[in-house]
Structure 1
Amino acid sequence: MKLENKKKKNFFKKKKIIGFINITHNGYAFVNVNGFKKDIFIPKNKTNRSLEGDLVQIKLLKKSGKKIKGEIIKIIKRKKKKFIGILKIKSNYKYGSVIFPKKTIHVDIYIPKNKLKGFRHNEKVLVKIIKWPKNLKNPLGEIIKVFGLSGEYQTEIFSLLEEYGISYKFSKEVEKETKEIFLKKNFDTSFRKDCRKINTFTIDPIDAKDFDDAISIKKLNNNIWEIGIHIADVTHYVKEGSFLDKEAYTRGTSIYLEEKVIPMLPHKLSNNICSLLPEKDKLSFSSIFNFNKKGKILKSWFGKTIIRSNRRFTYEEVQDIIDKKKGDFYEDISTLLFFSKILTKNRLKNGALSLERLEVKFNLDEKKNPIKLFFKKNNDAHHLIEEFMLLTNRKISEFVSLNLDKKPYQRIYIYRVHDKPDFKKIIDLNKIIKPLGYSLDKENFKKSINFLLKNIHKKPEKNFIENLILRVMSKAKYSTKNIGHYGLSFIYYTHFTSPIRRYSDIIAHRLLNNYLLFNKYNKSKKLKEFYEKQSQYCSYKERLSIDIEREFSKFLQVKYIKKYIGQKFDGIITGFTDWGIYIDLFLFQIEGMIRLRDIQEDIYILQSKNSIIGKKKRKIYYLGDQVKVKLIDVNIEKKQITLNFLN
């Protein structure tokens, strides 16, 4: 204790104390300083024109109770000078102002009247801070880019991409390389296995334009079938170190928004040269397996091929053939489905989780406004393709990692890994679902999770519980350090099957090709560090793309639901804060909030993180309670839905 007090006294004597500032929505702030356990509290009037994330210098004030107070005396470095917000113009005001619904900064930025010419009220803009005079409470700025009117389809896409630092245009160098590849169309088939005479087809979503994978099947005799999974040979065209390669790495992944794709590779490559289009000779990297009639794999082969797809199927077309038991390639499709079901059964028996989420999709009108919301569910056609892609990713990973005696090599590879869930989170999950009549066996977690998922099928609480399960789970990522894939119950697993849209798969292709050609591997520590760094970067870009896709989907959901203001809905309580209750609306699978201050029947306070209680009537609401609510308001700018209990 004496040592701690001595440290504090020495700290107050320091002339220069610096740290990064965290400013709350209310204007007061905290600064985290190395060497001190507690953050330094900065009152609202002492932030001295600093903004969120700035590196600042602090002068310490007198200690107040347990708090150590300070004031900002200098901004050493701004974290950001450019911000995305919405321009508000009022005719009788001296300034226009850019507001920030997402609260990226705690103050509006003023735009002088003489700098507003040509701009419109409610436009989403990129604004740059020019100066912040001492006599003004707000900084002054200038608009450097306009995205369009707030709440419009194109506006929201391009402002999101700007916010996340994603480029939607390709450089001249990349376009030049793409054009050269397009004109050459280099087809060196001398070292490739020719698979063009085998029945081959692609199965993809109806709106897909880039076809990463195709599947072939050939009956060798009454007991053996040869099944090929053919993946676009992107690395044949995208050479390591080229402008194309560097751009693909920078982007990391394609981003899929409703009716819009921000591709990792230019369209001439992704939708044409690399894409496994029907009735065209295409270069691929293939995994070919011999199955016996019991679904056992007798032989595997991996290598470069040339294929010719007979037909492009959509999932809906294949499902129709499965249901009606007739149509193009029916015999091939039914055989593939038979083997895929064996693969699924074996995977689940081995301990894989059977978590399958419904995907929220929209129909848009000609102005790109959402006119219909629906949920996309995987069917047999999806499962057929999914199982063969999982098989390919697993078997390639095993081939690279194990020698003929099934002992581990020390080869470098990029793995898709998934860690075990946090035990404490499992205990917390059990506490939440227990009042709903469910429980988990901590000793046999996977089995009990699958049993739970089966039990909640078609139940109102399904979406809520599935979200809770996802929060318990670790996030899958890329790494050269293999720990296995917990969710799939695979010891070895990679991502190989989507090189048109994932850079991780390009890395996997290059490494596998190197091992096939030379059967050598470099044990260099530097090389492993290089690939680990690339793996971490691919994981980072994946998380960014998921965030962008979710945020854009939320925008469409909020815009769609606006027309239902005043209507009543069923929902389930999914969370509590000091100021509100989160409700998941069954019909839309989107969360809205009831502000505690808006509840008229009583004054409610947070009793625990899982419940609130009324002060007078002592009524308690718990997580998972089903409730009836009314849609009160929708704020598209903030992507917020306001609800209230029915009286």
Structure 2
Amino acid sequence: MAQRTLPADERILTWLEERPGLAATVREIAEAFGLPARSRPKLRRRLHELVAEGRLVALRGRRFGSARVLGDVVGRYTRHPHGFGFVVPDDPSEIDLYIPIGGAGGALHGDLVAARITDVKPDGRREGTIVRVLERKSKVLVGAFQPTYSGGGVVQPIDAGYGFDILVPKGRTAGARAGEFVSVSLETPPSGAGPARGRVVERLGRPDEPGADVEVLIRKFDLDPRFPEEVLRAAEALPDDPGRWSLEDREDFTGQTVVTIDGASAKDFDDAISVERTRDGGYRLHVHIADVAHFVEEGGPIDAEALRRGTSVYFPDRVIPMLPERLSNHLCSLVPNELRLTQGVTIDFDGEGRARRWRSHDGVIRSQARLTYEEVAAAIEERRPEARRALGKLLPMLEAASELAAKLEAQRARRGAIDFDLPEPELRLALTGGTEDIVARRRTAAHRMIEEFMIAANRAVASDLAARRAPCLFRVHERPDPDRVEKLMRALGGLGYRLDVDPVDATPAHFRVLLEQASGRPEEPFVVRMVLRTMSLARYDPVCLGHFGLALRRYLHFTSPIRRYPDLVAHRALRRLRHRVRERADVAADRRERLPDLARECSRLERDAEAAERESIAWKVAAFMAERLGEEFEGRIVEVAPHGLTVLIPQPFVEGLLPVRRLGDEYFRYDARRLRMIGSKTGRVFRIGQVVRVRVDRVDLLRHLVDFSLVGAETGPGGGRRRSGRGTAARRGRGRAGRRGR
């Protein structure tokens, strides 16, 4: 029997919030609550009243949704060069909001905005429009300057997301020359009344000048290479000698065989290790971490600046540190043959590498050696006699460490953790600042050993802090979205790969098996990339939600407090726990209340730092290849897309785009199911894993892009796609944008 009275407002709201798609029409709501057709006008009026009260949101298609879940979305606006964009919510648990062309409402790329949801697709994807600009990203942009006949100039922003050039009137160019990078103050944003206008405030150098790229990126990502005077004074005031008072209540590990193992160019050493075999056939691992919390007073000027930075940023030729150099490279750095204060973890493992017990401690160490990954790998993995002799008395400890690391790797495999092993470019720099060579970074057994030991320490500390509900920042990696998993399965299906599980139920072990199946095969780089893109983005959160990739219920970052602020938060929380510090209720409550904002800010700063580091490498790679225009290389196809092929050449280790128009003098059809290109005349096929010979055809230094052409291909004036009705230019544009997004 149909219900005669309208349901309570809260019942309607709850039903909408639990409904797939989060929205419904008047008719759908009426049917759900058993209302007769004659009640719909009354229901419609009530729904519009709830919209006016701000409790409901009116959507396209005459649908309604709860404002509690579909209200204004606050986040950063990221604009695509083609005009559409996304609002990336401050709340990392929310999905991005699509902003169509014309929906930006005056917002510029990078602005903090409030956006209103206007539509929700059946699969949960959301669309909206920007209603308010809450904060401009910056009024100063960086770009390339070109003079005009009028005596002024035009600045093309480095970031293609802005989608406009800036006119600089005569007399406001600061003497900038053609091609120079400049900082320009945006005085008038683009509008219907005219183009963007501004003035040059700083000249940053020519593209071929050493260091100009870093100067541009520092300004683009709002980094600060200099510390405030107050912070430097506070750092200088710290005593060189820890003093007897600092050593009280600390365990003395100075008699241990303790070493640091880092990259050859590393300057800040925040972790050291020591391993012993135990009488019962197990192992005892000591992980000693620089006690940054001892030197950096919470709430003090050094702490405030470290929080503002969030992380160190590592460019190929310089570092922008989180802490002043006196701390990062001196007082806190675990350099050899010097007393250093630490916080650490001692973990006992059985003979199979299972952790039986652990404890944390304040300690003091004296590192016996600063070793590199290459030195340790040469002695332990390659067993070179001269490398083993060079290690001397350190060799037995490192042999035990290698044994334990192998056991921990086996345990990681048993629990199904995902092991991404995608080679990355390593730049070999000349003393003059240029790039001499680009090679694939080698991941040695020494790299894996330190990685396993740091994971073990992070896991132990996370377990202790989570068990005691201590306020800290956990490292969270949530399970991938089922829709992305489904797309992955479709993409890899044409290559013969299967996940054999419902996307909702996919576990880390399923992805691990997938990667193991691809290992050593020509399509391995493509499979690894696709799985990586399927994963959620790791972030910081005050709630312990587990780490999907590592297949761990509890995890955080503890082992790098010199370069990551969340690690410093963990150190302070662990010390309060270990020393049973009892804080006033209001102080403890305030600490917890600040954690969500702190987690979001640290996650954002980490993303910005990684983006800056990636772009710096891409810039130097492009500059390196610009000197090799016309040279030929053999490479392998690692991706196939409608706009062309991504080709990876092994030496130098460089990736570039082979546009479809450079494949030959015929039309090429993209086979999405089997991920291949097929020539319409010759039937020639290009597929994942295929070896091709390419020529360096074009380099765009401003966008850091490398384009290849196919050696032996004969193309007409229009290139490979010669049919005029197929939107060639648009496809080429999408190709460029897609390449940048990888």
Residue in structure 1 matching 2:431, options 361, 366, 371: 366
Q: 1:127 and 2:184 equivalent?
A: yes
TM-score by length of 1: 0.83
Structure 1 residues 473, 49: CA separation in 2 closer, same or farther (over 3 Å shift)? closer
Residue in structure 2 matching 1:509, options 535, 556, 571: 571
Equivalent position of 1:330 in the other structure: 395
Equivalent position of 1:552 in the other structure: 616
Residue in structure 1 matching 2:460, options 372, 380, 395: 395
Structure 2 unmatched runs, 5+? 1-24, 27-43, 49-57, 63-73, 88-96, 114-131, 714-742
Kindly indicate whether the alpha-carbon contact (under 8 Å) linking 1:202 and 1:215 is maintained by their aligned counterparts in 2: yes
Residue in structure 2 matching 1:162, options 196, 219, 224: 219
Residue 618 of structure 1: CA displacement?
Answer: 7.5
Equivalent position of 1:248 in the other structure: 306
Residue in structure 2 matching 1:496, options 558, 565, 569: 558
Residue 131 of structure 1: CA displacement?
Answer: 5.0
**Residues 182-235 of structure 1, C-alpha deviations (whole Å, 9 max, x = no match):** 457455111111111122111111111111111124566575654311100000
Structure 1 residues 289, 149: CA separation in 2 closer, same or farther (over 3 Å shift)? same
Kindly indicate whether the alpha-carbon contact (under 8 Å) linking 1:210 and 1:275 is maintained by their aligned counterparts in 2: yes
Q: Structure 2: which amino acid aligns with 1:375?
A: A
Equivalent position of 2:544 in the other structure: 482
Query: Matches of 1:52 and 1:292 in 2, distance apart?
Result: 53
1:269 aligns to what SS in structure 2? helix
Residue in structure 2 matching 1:345, options 405, 410, 416: 410
Equivalent position of 1:14 in the other structure: none
Percent identity of the aligned residues? 27
Query: Matches of 1:49 and 1:276 in 2, distance apart?
Result: 50
Q: 1:415 and 2:479 equivalent?
A: no
**Residues 307-350 of structure 1, C-alpha deviations (whole Å, 9 max, x = no match):** 11112111122222221454321111101111121111112111
Query: Matches of 1:55 and 1:321 in 2, distance apart?
Result: 52
Q: Structure 2: which amino acid aligns with 1:410?
A: R
Q: 1:645 and 2:710 equivalent?
A: yes
Structure 1 residues 52, 393: CA separation in 2 closer, same or farther (over 3 Å shift)? closer
**Residues 575-623 of structure 1, C-alpha deviations (whole Å, 9 max, x = no match):** 435x555444454554433444555522346675956666777877666
Residue 369 of structure 1: CA displacement?
Answer: 1.3
Query: Matches of 1:209 and 1:365 in 2, distance apart?
Result: 18
Equivalent position of 1:64 in the other structure: none
Equivalent position of 1:441 in the other structure: 500
**Residues 58-101 of structure 1, C-alpha deviations (whole Å, 9 max, x = no match):** xxxxxxxxxxxxxxxx99997653211111136x4442221235
Equivalent position of 1:16 in the other structure: none
Query: Matches of 1:299 and 1:53 in 2, distance apart?
Result: 47
Q: Structure 1: which amino acid aligns with 2:489?
A: N
Kindly indicate whether the alpha-carbon contact (under 8 Å) linking 1:426 and 1:442 is maintained by their aligned counterparts in 2: no
**Residues 423-451 of structure 1, C-alpha deviations (whole Å, 9 max, x = no match):** 33233223323333433333675445334
Q: Structure 2: which amino acid aligns with 1:496?
A: F
Please give the residue correspondences for 1:537-576 in structure 2 after superposition, counting only pairs within 5 Å: 537-566=601-630, 567-572=632-637, 574-576=639-641
Equivalent position of 1:431 in the other structure: 490
Q: Structure 2: which amino acid aligns with 1:439?
A: R
Larger mean Cα displacement after TM superposition, 285-294 or 553-562: 285-294
Q: 1:266 and 2:324 equivalent?
A: yes
Residue 135 of structure 1: CA displacement?
Answer: 12
Equivalent position of 2:451 in the other structure: 386
Equivalent position of 1:60 in the other structure: none
**Residues 490-512 of structure 1, C-alpha deviations (whole Å, 9 max, x = no match):** 11111111100110100000001
Residue 105 of structure 1: CA displacement?
Answer: 3.2
Equivalent position of 2:656 in the other structure: 592
Kindly indicate whether the alpha-carbon contact (under 8 Å) linking 2:666 and 2:679 is maintained by their aligned counterparts in 1: yes
**Residues 517-576 of structure 1, C-alpha deviations (whole Å, 9 max, x = no match):** 117687966543322221222111111111111111111121222233222433315243
Please give the residue correspondences for 1:626-637 in structure 2 after superposition, counting only pairs within 5 Å: 627-637=692-702
Residue 236 of structure 1: CA displacement?
Answer: 0.2
Query: Matches of 1:542 and 1:473 in 2, distance apart?
Result: 17
Residue in structure 2 matching 1:472, options 504, 511, 534: 534
Q: Structure 2: which amino acid aligns with 1:537?
A: E
Structure 1 residues 301, 148: CA separation in 2 closer, same or farther (over 3 Å shift)? same
Residue in structure 2 matching 1:195, options 253, 266, 289: 253
Kindly indicate whether the alpha-carbon contact (under 8 Å) linking 1:218 and 1:225 is maintained by their aligned counterparts in 2: yes
Query: Matches of 2:483 and 2:105 in 1, distance apart?
Result: 42
Structure 1 unmatched runs, 5+? 11-18, 57-73, 403-408
Structure 1 residues 78, 529: CA separation in 2 closer, same or farther (over 3 Å shift)? closer
Q: Structure 2: which amino acid aligns with 1:450?
A: R
Q: Structure 1: which amino acid aligns with 2:544?
A: N
Equivalent position of 2:336 in the other structure: 278
Residue 38 of structure 1: CA displacement?
Answer: 11
**Residues 254-292 of structure 1, C-alpha deviations (whole Å, 9 max, x = no match):** 111113111110111001000111111110001123445
Structure 1 residues 81, 188: CA separation in 2 closer, same or farther (over 3 Å shift)? closer
Equivalent position of 1:81 in the other structure: 139
Equivalent position of 1:321 in the other structure: 379
Equivalent position of 1:114 in the other structure: 171
Residue 23 of structure 1: CA displacement?
Answer: 7.9
Query: Matches of 1:76 and 1:397 in 2, distance apart?
Result: 36
Structure 1 residues 162, 624: CA separation in 2 closer, same or farther (over 3 Å shift)? same
Query: Matches of 2:409 and 2:80 in 1, distance apart?
Result: 49
TM-score by length of 2: 0.73
Q: Structure 2: which amino acid aligns with 1:97?
A: V
Larger mean Cα displacement after TM superposition, 559-568 or 495-504: 559-568
Kindly indicate whether the alpha-carbon contact (under 8 Å) linking 2:139 and 2:185 is maintained by their aligned counterparts in 1: yes
Kindly indicate whether the alpha-carbon contact (under 8 Å) linking 2:274 and 2:286 is maintained by their aligned counterparts in 1: yes
Query: Matches of 2:98 and 2:562 in 1, distance apart?
Result: 48
Residue in structure 2 matching 1:144, options 196, 201, 218: 201
Residue in structure 2 matching 1:176, options 199, 210, 233: 233
Residue 640 of structure 1: CA displacement?
Answer: 1.6
Give the alignment's Cα RMSD to 1 decimal. Answer: 3.9
Residue 238 of structure 1: CA displacement?
Answer: 0.3
Query: Matches of 1:21 and 1:233 in 2, distance apart?
Result: 38
Kindly indicate whether the alpha-carbon contact (under 8 Å) linking 1:101 and 1:637 is maintained by their aligned counterparts in 2: yes
Query: Matches of 1:77 and 1:390 in 2, distance apart?
Result: 38
Equivalent position of 1:355 in the other structure: 420
Query: Matches of 1:210 and 1:246 in 2, distance apart?
Result: 20
Equivalent position of 2:20 in the other structure: none
Kindly indicate whether the alpha-carbon contact (under 8 Å) linking 2:426 and 2:441 is maintained by their aligned counterparts in 1: yes
Structure 1 residues 9, 294: CA separation in 2 closer, same or farther (over 3 Å shift)? closer
Equivalent position of 1:63 in the other structure: none
Aligned length: 607
